[in-house]
Structures are given as structure tokens and as C-alpha cells.
A and B are shown apart, each in its own frame.
Chain A
């Protein structure tokens, strides 16, 4: 059984009385340890698909199962708890909290656990070390470069050791060098730490880092 199973997934948005279908009857399997790249033109529904997998949005029809747990049947409360344990989300614009230091930003998901302060510190410093920013722990986002901010965001995404990492164009706002560093880091997370990654990108070079590439266009998902 695949780690992530998507069956007959459809999403239709409604604007006033108009129904706008994004995709219909999508099926997808992602195995544990996979690094899957999802490509497609703007508006094709890539981000919507990520949001549905993370339980941030509700599908119109269909079923999503992650690690044997059916996400689509959960309540808002259950979804929040499930997300904190199983999903690490990386945004294009990093979305760090500007009033918190790098350390405090990374610590956020751990505040939802029962870890002690000391244990949280150990976890945070470990992942900051993995992303190469242990010496920037006390820096605020405004004191970091874009690439560094994204690395902090990646540290925040992996600190709770999630089942799956969902990355929504994580290099979209970075220069080529920083983007390359981020992709190398993600590759390392996959190869060294066996993290399952689903990466949405427009960038063909970024796509080359994955094990497989899927295309979503006009509501159809193809390899």
C-alpha cells in the first residue's frame, strides 16, 4: 500500500452560481521515500492538490489516504492535529513569522507536542544544523537572505518529523544559486533522511531533482 493514495479526487470551485472545475477523478500513489515533482501551468490546480493532501481544503469528491489514515473524512479539529504530526509544508514566500527568531519559528510546530523545553531545543538545533543555520538561530527573518529564510522554513517543516513534506514552489522566489541550494537540501532530506516529498514547481531544472515528474494540465494528471 502506498504512503499517499488519492482516488477519484475532484475539486470544483463555485463563484456565484458558476461552477469552476479544477480537476476530476484524479488518482495518484506516492510511495514512502519518493520525491515526486508536480508540474503544470498556472491555474492547473497544483497548489489546490497540495492543499487537499494537507487537509487545508475539502475535495468535492474522492478520497485521500496518508499512511493508512483517511484525510478526507476528518473534522477540522482532527485535521489540525493530524497536520501537526504528519505534514510539513514549505511555501514559496517562506511565511516565517517576522516577530519570531529563526529558532522560535522552527519551534512553532513543537509547541503543539508534549516535548519539554529542553527536548524542543534539541530538536530545533538539530534541524537548524541540518539546514546549515545553527549559527543563525537567534536571527529574525529580516536579518536573513531569501535563501536562508527558505532554509528556516524547511527546518520548520521537518522539525516534527512529518510523514510527508509538501513544497509549493519553494524556489519560486529565489535567485538561481539559492534555489540550487534549496533543491540540494531537499534532495538530501529525501536521500539521507528518507523523507517523502511532493514538490510543486514550474522550474524544469528543479523538476530534475525528483524521482518522478507528474503533469497536471486541464484537470488531467499524467506522468
Chain B
């Protein structure tokens, strides 16, 4: 403990340099934590998907719809207990920046298949009784200050762009799992179908299985059946579908890790050059300390401690700054990242990287300080 002050005064020797280096480490760790949290949130979102539910979509891409006529045949596939469908509406409220996911659903079957959405019974009944009714997540209600019974108007670039789509909020759902998202907006498929000039079609079918074990055979049966139709299908478990939804943007995990790695090396070079510079400036002082009896090992530790202190303080600022900011603002990536959070495992990984950064950047100047020949150094400065 008695050497802590020595480490501290050395860091305060060039305050501007120390602060700038600390802030650059903080910025890098903030970025790392943010990128990793995007990854973990997407993974969590994929895991929300049930193994007992399957999704049948157009084999070309999720953006192409499927005929409504498939519903009857899908319902008759052995092993399928119930079928529903949904359509991506891409609703815009007031301004495109106010984005949230909105879906038209085949309501009674869809709600029955998603126990993850907890809705008071009277609200469910009110929703079912009204064609323009909507069910909204608690987070979305809070975000826009909406209330039950309020009419909100959305616009959609997919369906007639000049058309306003008024909805009356009749139900509010609470997700049983944060990763399901509390920012979703559901309404009746019939509404979009009847009021759409182009006419709507199911975007994808959701199949409730009698037993998850039959998933493979069900998928094979369906996809084989529609192989030569005008809308060939691809059937997969909901979990795989969710993962596919995420990877629609490319290999997000790889991208995040690659960017994170690049940032790590950039900051490593910054921290290392700072430490080298700081050590070089104090060559004569290291020689004096050796003359006083400071051992090679002690000086090695002191220089390493300086580097680690800078990166750990930077790490604390970056990691916990990110955690506070994202949690304080309830960040959800404009609705694309429901349940976004900086997990403790991510925070710990961030701090471990900060420590590693300190050790790697400090090891060369620490080694040089330890091995410095005292007599030659003193002769140079005397």
C-alpha cells in the first residue's frame, strides 16, 4: 500500500496525457461493451423462440409472403396442433425515428400460441371484439405515454403510404421474458387485409407442434409439399427462425467481434506508446530509485501498476458508463433490440480486457525499467 502513492503521483505527472489515455481506453471499452451487448441481446432474442413452435416462410426470403390458402393444408399436417400467421406491417408513428415493430396477426390462434404475452382477460376480450383494436407492450405504452382506449394512428411504407391507419389500444401485454420485448404492437390481420389496397398475405406461418420431437419430419413434409409451388417454403424451428432473422443483416457476431478486436488493438497501441513515453521520460528517476535500493522486481511492478491503473480506471468509466447510460435511457436500439442490457458477464469481460490491456501495454516499459543498467544511465544524466 505504501507504494500506491508513488504510482499515483507518477500518473499525475502529466495529467493531460493520463486523462486522454484513460478516456481513450474508456471509449474503447464503452464500444466493446456496447457491441458485445448487441450480440448477447440478439442471442437472447433467438433463444426466446420456442422449440415447440415452428415457422414456415417463403424459401426465397422473409420479405416475400405466402398464400393464405396454405393455412388449411398446414393445419392438417400430422404433428401440427395449431397454425397461425403474422405479417410485418412496418408501422410508423409520427416520425420514422419513432420506430417499433408492428405486426398484423391472426389474432385468436396467435395469442393462444404465445403464453409469453400476459394480457388481462377483459382486455383480451375487448381486443378480440374490435377489428381496429391493438395490443401493445408495456414498454411502448410507457415510451409514448399512451393509455388504454387511446386511438393511435400509424402509417406504413408497405401498405398504402398515403393512408392513415388508426388503431384503438384495447390491450396491454407484459412479457414473461424481457428478451421477448415489451415494445411490440399487434393488431388484427383482417384489418390490414380489408383496408389494404394491394391486399395483404401472411408473411409467415407459425405452427404449434404436438411434440417438439416431430419438428424435423414436419419441416420435411411441408417443404417437400410446396417445393414446386409458386411460393416454395422453408420451415424451421422458431429459434432457428429468430436466429435467421438476426443473420439477415449478415454475420452480426463476427462483425461485432471483428470491430471489437480492431478497437482493442488500436487502444493497445495508444496505451503502450503512452507507457513507453512515460517510462522514457523517467529513465533517470528509475536509475535513482535503483541507487536507493529499489529492486528490479519492485520497479517492474510499479511500472506495470501504473499501466494497469490507467486502463482499469478507463475500463471502469467505459464499462459502467455504458451500463448506466443504457439502463438509464432504457435503450432498445430503436425497437430492434428489445431487452437490450449490459449483462454482468459482459461488464466482467470488459474489465478483464481493461486489465489485460494494462498488463500488455506496461510489460515492455516495465521490463526496460527493471533491466536498466544504472551506472550507464546515471552517467548519461549526470
Contact = CB atoms under 8 A, between A and B. Distances in A.
Nearest to B11: A99
Given A80-B290, A85-B293, 12 more contacts: A47-B379, A47-B382, A56-B375, A57-B375, A80-B293, A80-B294, A80-B296, A81-B295, A83-B291, A93-B381, A95-B381, A111-B3
B379 A99 contact: no
Contacts of A168: 382
Contact of B292 (A77, A84, A104): A84
Contacts of A117: 2
A48 interface: yes
Given A99-B9, A111-B2, A76 B296 contact: yes
Interface of B: 2-3, 5-6, 9-10, 12-13, 284-285, 288-298, 374-375, 378-379, 381-382
B8 to A, nearest CB: 10
Nearest to B288: A95
Contacts of B289: 108
Given A56-B378, A77-B297, A108 B291 contact: no
A172 B379 CA distance: 15
A112 B294 contact: yes
A91 B382 contact: yes
Q: State the 8 A-B residue pairs at the shortest beta-carbon distance, nearest first.
A: A84-B293, A57-B375, A80-B295, A83-B293, A99-B9, A56-B374, A51-B375, A95-B288
A89 B291 contact: yes
Nearest to B292: A109
Contacts of A2: none
B227 to A, nearest CB: 77
A156 B378 contact: no
A38 to B, nearest CB: 16
Contacts of B3: 111
Nearest to B293: A84
A220 interface: no
Interface residues of A, number: 31
A150 B239 CA distance: 75
B292 A51 contact: no
A51 B289 CA distance: 14
Contacts of B290: 56, 80
Nearest to A153: B288
B12 to A, nearest CB: 7
14 contacts: A51-B375, A77-B295, A77-B296, A77-B297, A80-B290, A80-B296, A85-B293, A87-B293, A89-B291, A91-B288, A92-B382, A95-B284, A100-B9, A109-B293
A107 B288 CA distance: 14
Nearest to B375: A57
Interface in A59-93: 76-77, 80-85, 87, 89, 91-93
A80 B298 CA distance: 10
A99 B12 contact: yes
A162 to B, nearest CB: 10
A81 B293 contact: yes
A144 interface: no
Interface in A142-161: 156
B2 to A, nearest CB: 5
A96 to B, nearest CB: 8
